[in-house]
């Protein structure tokens, strides 16, 4: 405590109290909620850093993987199904009996996860769900966390040795830590489409969870009614169709085409809500190939969606993706690139973590707006570019980039 700067600590606490008072008095609108959340988190992190032992903090960072391992064991055991959903207690002996694992293993998992807020210990022999563990009951979120703990965690843990081997060159699709760990030379998406369809479908289901946040910011920044007069909205690498479903519920007369690998579109078609079957069609297509085989040549007023696609790829691949779309677009069409755009400074923790994961798994990276503009122009077409933004507070600036052709350059 002797090393604390009490004046600075007092200032931080006053700042937090000021934000709290503003919330209590209703002075913070919904549009500012994420910014307030960001300030709270930033202030709390500063207070934690100031009042903690630096050596212990670094040790905790280095050992952070232990919680990931415990959580993966928890999901492997499907431990959450044995806890009452209403938050009431379950006996430790019941958990032992139902999981069939050794006592030392179960105790280790519960002790570590409860210290991270996942599950609550109510007494010597009773446990219950917590606000964190209850989130794992949602299937799409469970799939997301399972994917993060499997291919993402394994790829990230391999990144240091991969970079040592490559003299710290930036990974590229097909040449990543993911490739080293899983012993293949395909990019992640081609691998899932041809080598591990089960893993690919889990990843696609996980993207439903990711889409909930990104589509909320898309809706806040871009009026979807601008799309109502389109002949067709094409969702490139659209997964199970989460974006098309979101838009079709708001534009009931609009037609949508979801493109992805056949294993994904087949599953998307099965899961598509019945009331949207007339609006949404699914078709297998590789975005690195021409759209000639999947597009009706009579359609001119097309909208192509590239939602959170480009950050998974290197510059060369992005230019090819954009060039193929621009070739198919027609004179009256447009592209909507929907991405979290990296600021020039003060990158959020979410983006910083995501960038390491994206580099490890896909060989891609997050970009600034200037980076995206450069890629669009490098695709070889004369275009007009507009942007819409909604600052999410947690994920840096969420940007919608509209690209309309003006003629081949």
Mean pLDDT of 300-326: 96
Q: Do 119 and 148 lie in a common domain? A: no
Average pLDDT, stretch 196-225? 90
Q: Is residue 109 part of a domain?
A: yes
Whether residue 333 sits in one domain with residue 287: yes
Structure tokens at 227: 């799309």
- Ordered strands of the 90-91 beta sheet: 90-91, 126-128, 120-121
Question: Within this chain, do residues 402 and 289 fall inside the same structural domain, yes or no?
Answer: yes
Mean pLDDT over the full length of the chain: 90
Find the mean pLDDT for residues 207-230.
Answer: 86
**% of the chain at pLDDT higher than 70:** 93
pLDDT at 34: 63
Interval 4-46: pLDDT, tens: 788 888 888 888 888 778 777 776 665 566 677 777 777 888 8
Are both 219 and 352 inside the same structural domain? Answer: yes
pTM of the predicted protein model: 0.88
Question: Alpha carbon of 294 to those of 30, 221, 291, 319: distances in Å?
Answer: 42, 30, 6, 20
Give the per-residue pLDDT at 143.
96
Among candidates 268, 263, 269, 226, which has minimal Cα distance to 247? 226
Residue 58 shares a structural domain with residue 69: no
Q: Is residue 1 part of a domain?
A: no
pLDDT band at residue 179 under the 50/70/90 scheme: very high
Alpha carbon distance 308, 358 (integer Å): 12
Structural domain harbouring 153: 144-194
Whichever domain contains 87, its CATH number is: 1.10.10.10
Let me know if residue 103 belongs to a domain: yes
Those residues whose C-beta lies under 8 Å from the C-beta of residue 93, and which sit 6 or more positions away, are 125
Q: Give the confidence band of 295 by pLDDT, cuts at 50, 70, 90.
A: confident
pLDDT band at 393 (very low <50, low <70, confident <90, very high): very low
Are 109 and 234 members of one domain? no
Q: How far is CA 32 from the centre of its chain?
A: 22
Burial class (CB in 10 A: 0-12, 13-18, 19+), 402: middle
Residue 200, domain member (yes or no): no
- Specify whether 301 is located in the same domain as 369: yes
pLDDT at 408: 43
Using CA atoms, how far apart are residues 8 and 340, in angstroms rounded to an integer? 33
Length of the chain: 409
Separation CA 43–CA 155 (nearest Å): 32
Backbone angles phi, psi at 407, to 5 degrees: 125, 155
Instruction: Read off the pLDDT of each residue in 163-186 and give the average, rounded to a whole number.
Output: 98
**Is the distance from CB of 88 to CB of 134 less than 8 angstroms?**
no
What is the rounded distance in angstroms from the CA atom of residue 216 to the CA atom of residue 390?
A: 10
Q: Residue 337: what pLDDT?
A: 96
Q: How confident is the model at residue 394 (pLDDT cuts 50, 70, 90)?
A: very low
Helices (H), 122-196: 139-147, 153-165, 177-182, 188-194
Q: Which of 404, 259, 375 is nearest to 311 (CA)?
A: 375
Quote the percentage of the chain above a pLDDT of 90. Answer: 69
Q: In the beta sheet, which residues pair with residue 120?
A: 128
Lowest-confidence region among 206-220, 234-248, 364-378: 206-220
Q: Among 255, 254, 310, which residue's Cα sits nearest to residue 287?
A: 310
The pLDDT, as a whole number, for residue 32 is: 64
pLDDT of residue 39: 77
Domain for residue 227, yes or no? yes
pLDDT band, residue 395 (cuts 50/70/90): very low
Whether residue 243 lies inside any domain: the answer is yes
- 156 and 287 co-located in one domain: no
Per-residue pLDDT tens digits for 223-248: 888 888 888 999 999 999 999 999 99
256 and 365 share one domain: yes
Give how far the C-alpha of residue 334 lies from the chain's centroid of Cα atoms, to the nearest Å: 25
Lowest-confidence pick of 77-86, 214-223, 248-257, 374-383: 214-223
Query: Is the pLDDT assigned to residue 3 strictly greater than 80?
Result: no
| Residue, of 389 and 138, whose pLDDT is higher | 138
Q: Which residue is listed with tokens 């030379």?
A: 185
Mean pLDDT, residues 270-275: 96
Please tell me the total count of domains within the chain: 4
The Cα–Cα gap between 245 and 139 comes to 18
Given CA atoms 196, 202, 205, 209 in this order, what sign does their dihedral have? negative
My answer on whether 150 and 52 are in the same domain is no
Residue given tokens 């979807």 in the structure block = 224
- In terms of domains, do 249 and 396 share one? yes
Burial of 148 (0-12, 13-18, 19+ CB in 10 A): middle
Residue range 82-94: average pLDDT? 96
**310 or 10, higher pLDDT:** 310
| C-alpha separations of 238 from 86, 107, 128, 286 in Å | 36, 42, 38, 11
Find, among 72, 74, 75, 206, the residue nearest to 149 by Cα: 72
Judged against a pLDDT cut of 70, whether residue 391 lies above it is answered with no
Q: Is residue 184 part of a domain?
A: yes
CATH number for 349: 3.40.50.150
């Amino acid at each position: 405590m002797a090393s604390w700067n009490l004046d600075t600590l007092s200032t931080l606490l006053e700042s937090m109290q000021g934000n709290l008072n503003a919330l209590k008095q209703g002075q913070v609108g919904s549009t500012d909620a994420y910014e307030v959340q960001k300030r709270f988190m930033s202030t709390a992190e500063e207070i934690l850093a100031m009042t903690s032992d630096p050596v212990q903090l670094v040790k905790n960072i280095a050992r952070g993987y232990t919680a990931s391992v415990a959580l993966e064991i928890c999901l492997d055991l499907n431990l959450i199904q044995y806890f009452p959903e209403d938050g009431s207690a379950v006996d430790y002996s019941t958990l032992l009996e139902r999981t069939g694992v050794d006592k030392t293993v179960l105790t280790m998992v519960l002790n570590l996860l409860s210290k991270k807020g996942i599950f609550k210990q109510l007494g010597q022999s009773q446990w219950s769900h917590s606000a964190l563990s209850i989130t794992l009951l949602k299937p799409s979120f469970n799939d997301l966390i399972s994917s993060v703990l499997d291919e993402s965690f394994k790829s990230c843990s391999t990144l240091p040795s991969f970079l040592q081997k490559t003299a710290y060159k930036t990974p590229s699709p097909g040449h990543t830590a993911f490739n080293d760990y899983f012993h293949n030379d395909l990019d992640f998406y081609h691998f899932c489409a041809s080598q591990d369809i089960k893993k690919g479908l889990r990843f696609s289901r996980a993207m439903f969870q990711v889409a909930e946040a990104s589509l909320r910011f898309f809706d806040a920044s871009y009026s979807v009614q601008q799309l109502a007069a389109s002949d067709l909205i094409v969702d490139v690498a659209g997964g199970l169709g989460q974006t098309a479903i979101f838009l079709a519920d708001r534009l009931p007369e609009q037609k949508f085409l979801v493109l992805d690998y056949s294993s994904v579109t087949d599953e998307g078609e099965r899961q598509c809500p019945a009331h949207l079957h007339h609006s949404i069609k699914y078709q297998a297509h590789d975005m690195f190939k021409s759209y000639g085989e999947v597009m009706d040549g009579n359609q001119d007023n097309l909208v192509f969606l590239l939602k959170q696609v480009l950050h998974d790829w290197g510059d060369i691949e992005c230019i090819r993706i954009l060039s193929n779309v621009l070739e198919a677009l027609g004179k009256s069409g447009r592209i909507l690139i929907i991405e979290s755009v990296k600021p020039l400074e003060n990158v959020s923790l979410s983006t910083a973590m995501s960038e390491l994961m994206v580099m490890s798994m896909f060989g891609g990276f997050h970009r600034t707006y200037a980076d995206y503009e450069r890629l669009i122009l490098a695709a070889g077409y004369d275009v007009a570019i507009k942007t819409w933004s909604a600052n999410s507070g947690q994920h840096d600036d969420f940007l919608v980039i509209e690209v309309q052709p003006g003629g081949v350059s």
